[in-house]
Structures are given as C-alpha cells and as structure tokens.
Amino acid sequence: MNRPTEALRSLINSGTPFIAADCYSALTGRIVEQAGFDAAYMGGHATSMMHFAIPDSGMFTTTEMIEQSGRVAEAITIPLIVDADQAGETPADVYRAIKRYERVGVAGVHIEDEVPPKHSRWEGALVPIVEMQARIAAAADARQDPDFVIVARSDELYAVGGGGSGSLDESIARGIAYAEAGADVYLPTFATEEHLPRITAEVPIPIGGYTTLLPGLTIALATGWGVASAARAHQQWAAHLKEHGELPPEAFGFEGKDALIDQPVYDRVIEQWASRTGRPLRSAD
C-alpha cells in the first residue's frame, strides 16, 4: 500500500483531475473514504466551527489543527490535505508546523498569503510576495518526506473579505513566484473558469480550486458542505425534540455505522479476551 504522501503525489501527477472531499473529524474522514473519494480535505472553516464554535478569522491555532488533523489521518487510509492557514507567524513557525503535520500523518497542506484576522471586518492586505516565498521555502525545507505536498494558496482574487485586489495579473505573478519558492500546487482562491486558461498557461505547477472541478484544475477541495449538513440536521432534530418531547427512529443511527467505527474489529478483540479469561459472553444480537 502506498504511503498517503506518495498516494497524493501520484494523484496530482496522474493528470486526472480529482476531488478531495470535506471532512472535519475522524468519522467524517471515514465517511469520505467509504464514499469512494481518493483524498480527503480538512478545511479550517469547517474544523474551527465544528470543534470550537469560532469563525475562520485566524484564532484557530496551528496546534489545534495539527491535533485534529492527526486524529483524521490516523482513521483513514486515503491521503488527507489540511488547511494550514498561515502555518504560524514566521517562517520558523512554518518550519516547525510542517514537521508536525508530517509526523501526524497528513499528506499535504495549503499555506495562504493572508494576514490575520482574516475573513473579518478588517480590510487587511496580503503579505508581500517575498514574505510568502519565505513561508513556502521554509515549508519545503522542513519536510522529511519529499512526497509531502505543499500547496500555496493566494487570496489575490478574493477581493471582498479576503485581502486581495482582484487582479488576475497579480494572482498569476504570485503563482509564478510561489512555484519558484518550492510550492507543488497553486491554489488561486475564487479563480473562475474565465481566469483559469491564463493561470494554467503561465503558472508552471498544477492548479487547485474549491468545490468544483473547473476545466484546468488538477484538484478541487470540496469543503463546507459537511459541517453545514451536520449542523442543519442537529438544529432540525433539536427543534423537533424541544417541540414534541421525543424523536422518531430515523433520528438515530445511520447507514454503515458499525463498519465506520470498526465495531466488528473491537467485538472480535473483546470476544477473544472474554474466551481466554473465562468471562461470560452475551449472545450476538
């Protein structure tokens, strides 16, 4: 079986576009794998919202994301790509963060050129190109596994709330510079189908995007829907319980639950323990 990093690198190099599907926990990572996706994606917005009930404005720390992503990587066999935000305040922080992401089993991360507090009421700017190049170079220097994938995300086209100016020329310039610094994939947030022919022609590394595999993209990170669906269902059933004082059977359980949580594996281990030590076993349901 390929290492997750090797599997991700092979997917990117295959020339066949693919989707890395949304997850924010070990269970949702398993669900994505069970559905047949070749890779999973763990976004900062989904993870910070689900685990800490905070927005994706820069308060969710590198340490918290490493901890959560390690749990997911341990639970799945497909490669996991993680939103590392800025991966710290300095290139030294980035260097240490990449080593830790690699150690917990993550196959790749994306690092962005925003300045926190991002996605907020503050009308901030992006870091200068040379600063982002330093982040990318530190990330490339830190990895021990040459297949660990470094994705450079630029929010230049994220003009409202993202810090960018909306310039396609600037987005392309950043992509070229980030590739020179050692990025394996370039992720120009909010690039449209009209933008992509120029970006793919001028930026010399594979291009990624969000949600939909537009023509020209190698990878799409389909994020946001998982946490929204889970929260919506929880809201609906909580309101139903409050109003009616009870819940219908369909509120409990879900398809494939036992397999997703390795119930048969642990049943076997416990049965063996009970048999070897003379402990009683209840009959199977």
3-state helix, strand, coil in the chain (%, to 5): 45, 15, 40
User: Quick check: 154 and 165 in contact, CB under 8 A?
Assistant: no
Q: Determine the pLDDT at residue 119.
A: 76
- Domain identity same for 127 and 234: no
Catalytic residues: 56
Q: Determine the pLDDT at residue 125.
A: 85
In a domain, 281, yes or no: no
In a domain, 19, yes or no: yes
In a domain, 213, yes or no: yes
- Domain identity same for 47 and 132: yes
Residues of the chain short of pLDDT 70, as ranges, are 1, 285
For the beta carbon of residue 275, count every other beta carbon within 10 angstroms.
10
Tokens found for residue 111: 């690092």
- Domain identity same for 209 and 237: no
Q: Is 151 helix (H, G, I), strand (E, B) or coil?
A: strand
**Distance separating alpha carbons of residues 228 and 235, to the nearest angstrom:** 10
In a domain, 285, yes or no: no
- Domain identity same for 115 and 129: yes
For the beta carbon of residue 6, count every other beta carbon within 10 angstroms.
16
pTM of the model: 0.94
Q: What CATH number does residue 47 fall under?
A: 3.20.20.60
Q: Determine the pLDDT at residue 121.
A: 76
CA 24 to the chain's CA centroid: 8
Domain hosting residue 167, numbered range: 4-224
- Domain identity same for 202 and 268: no
- Domain identity same for 153 and 77: yes
Number of domains in the chain: 2
In a domain, 282, yes or no: no
Helix (H) or strand (E) holding 97: helix 91-103
Q: Determine the pLDDT at residue 1.
A: 53
Taking CB atoms within 8 Å and a gap of at least 24, the contacts of 126-131 are 126/154, 126/155, 126/156, 126/163, 126/164, 129/173, 129/174, 129/177
- Among 280, 273, 274, 254, which residue's Cα sits nearest to residue 31? 254
- Domain identity same for 241 and 203: no
Tokens 């810090």 sit on residue: 163
In a domain, 284, yes or no: no
Which residues in the chain belong to E strands, given as ranges? 18-23, 39-42, 80-83, 108-112, 149-154, 185-188, 208-210, 219-222
Upper half-sphere CA count for residue 59 (Cβ side, 13 Å): 10
In a domain, 220, yes or no: yes
- Domain identity same for 61 and 201: yes
- Domain identity same for 93 and 33: yes
In a domain, 202, yes or no: yes
- Domain identity same for 94 and 113: yes
- Domain identity same for 200 and 59: yes
- Domain identity same for 59 and 197: yes
